[in-house]
Amino acid sequence: MERKKVLEYEADGYATLYDLPSDLELSAIHARQVRAVTAGRMVVEPSLAKALAEFVSPLAFLDFETVSLAIPRWNGCRPWQNVPVQFSCHAEERGRGLVHHEWLAEGPGDRDPRPALAEALVAACPGARRIVAYYASFERDCIRQLAVAVPRLAKELERIERRLVDLLPLLRNHVYHPDFGGSFSIKRTLPALVPGLSYADLKIREGETATLELMRLLFSGDELRPGERAELREALLRYCERDTWAMVRMLEQLRGLVALQLELF
């Protein structure tokens, strides 16, 4: 729940979720949270099955990482604009199963990475009917930026944008696990839905660190020794890969929950 709402309930004398009266008017999301926490188990709405129908195979799973600079280094960029410099894409490909594609700018930062990134992105998911992202508005913005920066690939990039579907609303609107802890961040939802899979084994474990390390990779010049640079690149690649692999596994779990509901009812 939002902090403002929590404070309102506390002011009304409700110390925990267990104190809330059963007839209290709550939003659908908050009501689902209360049901899950008080029951001590995951709540899955029957509406999940219909929502999953949009996720039509073959699928691709896409995640970008970006940098933002006060003084832009590349033509056409605004101050503090989020500029994509890395992506990971797991794609379902005919005859090959699930294939992982990745791209990360080499540096130094004076060379605009967007043309090469756009080319690699277009090549990564040509056969996908839907392209899955988590909080897809971010990926949509990155793709639109690329279409402006690399006009020769604008049509291909626009086709990618049109195929985007968002995994986040599947969870926010249809599923809640007590271990989400009030958050729908992928860092919280992944280990709850897919036990044993998280970001804890990675050298880079969250987005803010990834952004700082991307800045160090691209703009530190000769300060990084070759071995350090290679190690940093590998850590960044594995972090971004985990984001898309997380989406693959979470979608599998959500489909499994629907299949279980159908068996029970």
pLDDT on residue 95? 82
pLDDT surpassing 90 at residue 27: no
User: Residue 139: pLDDT band by 50, 70, 90 thresholds?
Assistant: very high
Which tokens in the block code for residue 105? 């700018």
- CA dist., res. 104 & res. 213, Å (int): 12
**Domains of the chain as residue ranges with CATH:** 52-168+201-253 (3.30.420)
- CA dist., res. 143 & res. 84, Å (int): 9
pLDDT on residue 14? 62
Which residue do the tokens 């990360």 mark?
A: 104
DSSP symbol at 84:
E
pLDDT surpassing 60 at residue 111: yes
CA-based end-to-end distance of the chain: 31
Q: Which amino acid is at 230?
A: A
pLDDT on residue 22? 64
pLDDT surpassing 70 at residue 13: no
Portion of the chain with pLDDT greater than 70, in percent? 89
Task: List pLDDT tens digits, range 207-235.
Answer: 999 999 999 999 987 788 889 999 999 99
The chain-wide mean pLDDT, for the chain, equals 92
- CA dist., res. 39 & res. 43, Å (int): 9
Averaged over 170-176, what is the pLDDT? 97
Task: List pLDDT tens digits, range 93-110.
Answer: 988 899 999 999 987 767
- CA dist., res. 176 & res. 65, Å (int): 27
pLDDT on residue 150? 98
pTM of the predicted protein model: 0.92
pLDDT surpassing 60 at residue 205: yes
Residue 43's DSSP bridge partners are: 176
pLDDT surpassing 90 at residue 16: no
pLDDT surpassing 90 at residue 194: yes
- CA dist., res. 143 & res. 147, Å (int): 6
CB 236 within 8 A of CB 210: yes
pLDDT on residue 26? 78
CB 249 within 8 A of CB 43: no
Averaged over 115-133, what is the pLDDT? 97
Task: List pLDDT tens digits, range 39-74.
Answer: 999 999 999 999 999 999 999 999 999 999 999 999
Distance set, CA 206 to CA 22, 121, 140 (Å): 37, 23, 21
Question: Between 114-124 and 154-162, two packed helices, what is the crossing angle to 10 degrees?
Answer: 50
